Amino acid sequence: MKPNFSLRLRVFNLNCWGLPYVSKHRSDRMKRLGDFLNMESFDLALLEEVWSEQDFQCLKEKLSFTYPAAHYFRSGIIGSGLCVFSKHPIQEIIQHVYTLNGYPYMIHHGDWFCGKAVGLLVFHLSGLVLNAYVTHLHAEYSRQKDIYLAHRVAQAWELAQFIHHTSKKADVVLLCGDLNMHPKDLGCCLLREWTGLHDAYLETQDFKGFEEGYTMVPENHYVSQKDLEPFPCGIRIDYVLYKAVSGFCISCKSLKSTAGHGPYNGTPLSDHEALMATLCVRHSPLQQNPPAGRLPLISVLREAWTELGLGIAQARWWAAFAGNVIGVGLLLLVLLCFLVAEERAREVAILLWTPNVGLVLGAGAVYLFHTQEARGLCRVQTELQHVLGREREAQDLSSEPQLALLLGQEGDRTE
Amino acid sequence: MKPNFSLRLRVFNLNCWGLPYVSKHRSDRMKRLGDFLNMESFDLALLEEVWSEQDFQCLKEKLSFTYPAAHYFRSGIIGSGLCVFSKHPIQEIIQHVYTLNGYPYMIHHGDWFCGKAVGLLVFHLSGLVLNAYVTHLHAEYSRQKDIYLAHRVAQAWELAQFIHHTSKKADVVLLCGDLNMHPKDLGCCLLREWTGLHDAYLETQDFKGFEEGYTMVPENHYVSQKDLEPFPCGIRIDYVLYKAVSGFCISCKSLKSTAGHGPYNGTPLSDHEALMATLCVRHSPLQQNPPAGRLPLISVLREAWTELGLGIAQARWWAAFAGNVIGVGLLLLVLLCFLVAEERAREVAILLWTPNVGLVLGAGAVYLFHTQEARGLCRVQTELQHVLGREREAQDLSSEPQLALLLGQEGDRTE
């Protein structure tokens, strides 16, 4: 590769809001999205919430000339909703489905049925290895009482770990997606600190779009105004993040987002705003890795550790509650058998038998689900604990009294 | 690193058969296993089927002096059963839980509840990066009618992909575990061909143990003789696999397995035989990667593709069947409502109402499960298809008429 090597990468990201029967004007929006992508001819278009595989197939057909490579990430019952269209051939594909993703009985939220995941595509561009990741994390339905917080933090950690372990030989790492987290949220900090990814919005000198880079704004008439009530100006939950790993540097020349309407005004393409980034990759003298034992990482790891602890306590409470319901249900069944045998209130007993069996089975399912949830959260907590231990060793404690104080309580907890 | 660098690695692997209340003499066997590991002082001990976390904690305490680092991989409802004890500090940890792992209603088989997984531990040994993987795949309960074949092939592919994508910067890769596959089984070939891992049993010049390297033998009195009926001499399903990635070469100096009894005779440690390998890693001139478009890989990818297709058809059949049951159940519910409203056979109608609701809900769960199963298998099939396409491109078709013939049918299927 020549020393003056330089590569320009134009990237598009959009949460398409493509829920069949629910999302308004879906087919019209998909059609316009296809037209727009064809016209703009990005290097890479990463989409979320393309829930219908038929929509993907239509887009694939429409875009086949401009974007010869395409991939849909299948997972869960409904799907991951993730897909990618690329001008360049895809060398390798892998995906990771998040272990924890909400609760099956929260049917009206539906995240559990989706199989939320992160997809990785490896590209070779002029001798450079690009790892492009696309993801969509669990939605936040209430910021005041967010029952999914522990799951989202666990997902952010799994995402960070997946990127960390699969990108070791990549020259450039790109992550696009709907993280369902505000920029300063715990999961977002955890992801950035552990992977070293940079936020295109914060890095670029040339941003065109809403103030603060908001990607869900009340000006977009598809957005539920009620959901945005606590944030009257909007929220930023969609991201373009990147880093160059070694021998290269990457910068964001420009970042553009739609502003509550379509890219050329008119009706919006989705309830989210689209992000369009122009990235520039250049050769660079070997960069120093960030020093081991970084204070912000340690602090965010500790915070995540605590948050997961609360999630574990909650999961264990539900498992114990379900266990008690099973106990009471079984006692009732014995009582009903007794009533039938004694020929007392026989009809009522027979009538109550089946609902009671249903109760025991239902409570059994809840027990198993929350046991598995607690185990999944414990697993993430153990991994965080291990990293905390390693960071602590890497840090020269004696020269950092502040850090020693911060880590004091962690010492006997780590493995 | 010096050019005459050489590293000796002593590795232990055992499926411990540690099911509480079920496995015979569990605590005694665990105690003896701990004594043996302490005495032998391996570099790395990788264990499967340590289902009780308490057993892990006891071992950890007992081995803390000889093996200061230890990790238990938590997952699923029961756990993954996987754990590791190491003389050397663990640098990094990650795990991947297999997407497909049997059926929840096959309670007597129980694999679904385990959350079978692959765990990765990264070690830095004298400047060398070692990625050590431990895994346990879905059991094979009947070789004649193996309803889990598609799941096991999918697991083997996920395992191979996980190793392929996470080991790109490793110098040495080691995989130990109970693969529940015979050496020539499809999943085993797929794993070896896609990762390039070598089988310690086939590579070593110095093997001590049963003929053919069997790791489940009728001589072990814990083994169910009925299960081994089709294989009166034994089966080989536990493996030590390895490869050196670049600049290094690795060889297996010796491989030893127990022979139906404990390491020093006496009662066996488990119903599986333990494997003890001595590996030697040396500096080596840069090795050539295997040529792209390899014929055995292409052939095994095609075979796996076909097998997964059968699995998908089966999963879709079950989903359709459950869909029909839901339809009939809903019709019955309408009929029962009608009977109650008309005051005809009211008691019978009320009595049948709840079981019928149960039937609809149960069929709904079966429908959702098999829909997700079909999607998971489709996802693996698409990944295989993509690799097949890439391999086809890499191969010079004109110079390989045999390959052209083999790939003829694949052409229009690949993305």
| DSSP codes, B172-194 | EEEEEEE--S-TTSHHHHHHHHH
* Model pLDDT for residues A27-44, shown as the tens digit of each residue: 999 999 999 999 999 999
Residues A231 and A216: their CA atoms lie apart, in Å, by 10
Contact B74 A350 (CB under 8 A): no
Instruction: Give the ranges where B196-278 is alpha helix by DSSP (H).
Output: 200-203
Burial letters A248-262, b for 16+ CB under 10 A, else e? bebbbebbbbbbbeb
At B345 the pLDDT is 77
> Which among A93, A169, A357 has the least Cβ separation from residue B383?
A93
Q: Is pLDDT above 80 for B1?
A: no
Give the residue carrying structure tokens 């296809």. A34
Burial letters B166-191, b for 16+ CB under 10 A, else e? bbbebbbbbbbbbbbbebebbbbbbb
Contact A169 B165 (CB under 8 A): no
The number of C-beta contacts closer than 8 angstroms across A and B is: 106
Contact B94 A120 (CB under 8 A): no
Which residues 6+ apart lie within 8 Å of A240 measured at CB? A11, A13, A174, A175, A176, A199, A200, A201, A252, A255, A275, A277
Please report residues of A whose CB lies closer than 8 A to that of B154: none
Structure ipTM: 0.91
Burial of B232 (0-12, 13-18, 19+ CB in 10 A): exposed
Mean pLDDT for chain B overall: 90
Q: Is B99:B156 a contact under the CB 8 Å cutoff?
A: no
Closest alpha carbon to A121 in A71, A87, A179? A71
> Which among A72, A378, A386 has the least Cβ separation from residue B74?
A378
Optimal mutation site among A52, A74, A368, A392, interface B, most CBs of chain B within 10 A: A74
Of chain A, the percentage scoring pLDDT greater than 90 comes to 73
Please report residues of A whose CB lies closer than 8 A to that of B382: 71-72, 74, 93
- At B162, give phi and psi (nearest 5°): -60, -45
Q: Is pLDDT above 50 for B230?
A: yes
Contact B77 A371 (CB under 8 A): yes
- The total number of residues written for chain B in this structure: 415
Please report residues of B whose CB lies closer than 8 A to that of A69: 415
Q: How many CA atoms lie within 13 A of A83 on its CB side?
A: 24
Contact A90 B386 (CB under 8 A): yes
Residues A351 and A356: their CA atoms lie apart, in Å, by 9
Optimal mutation site among B52, B354, B381, B392, interface A, most CBs of chain A within 10 A: B354
Task: State the average pLDDT over residues B297-319.
Answer: 96
Place A347 in a pLDDT band, splitting at 50, 70 and 90.
confident
Q: Which residue of A has its CA nearest to B387?
A: A92
Please report residues of B whose CB lies closer than 8 A to that of A347: 347
Which residues 6+ apart lie within 8 Å of B342 measured at CB? none
Q: Is pLDDT above 90 for B387?
A: yes
Given A71, A88, A96, A272, the catalytic residue? A272
Closest alpha carbon to B57 in A313, A415, A371, A312? A415
Please report residues of A whose CB lies closer than 8 A to that of B354: 354-355, 358
> Which among A70, A93, A372 has the least Cβ separation from residue B77?
A372
The helix-helix angle for A149-166 and A346-394 (nearest 10°) equals 50
> Which among A99, A113, A166 has the least Cβ separation from residue B165?
A166
Q: Which residue of A has its CA nearest to B122?
A: A165
Residues B357 and B412: their CA atoms lie apart, in Å, by 46
Asked whether the whole model's pTM tops 0.90, one would answer yes
At A286 the pLDDT is 62
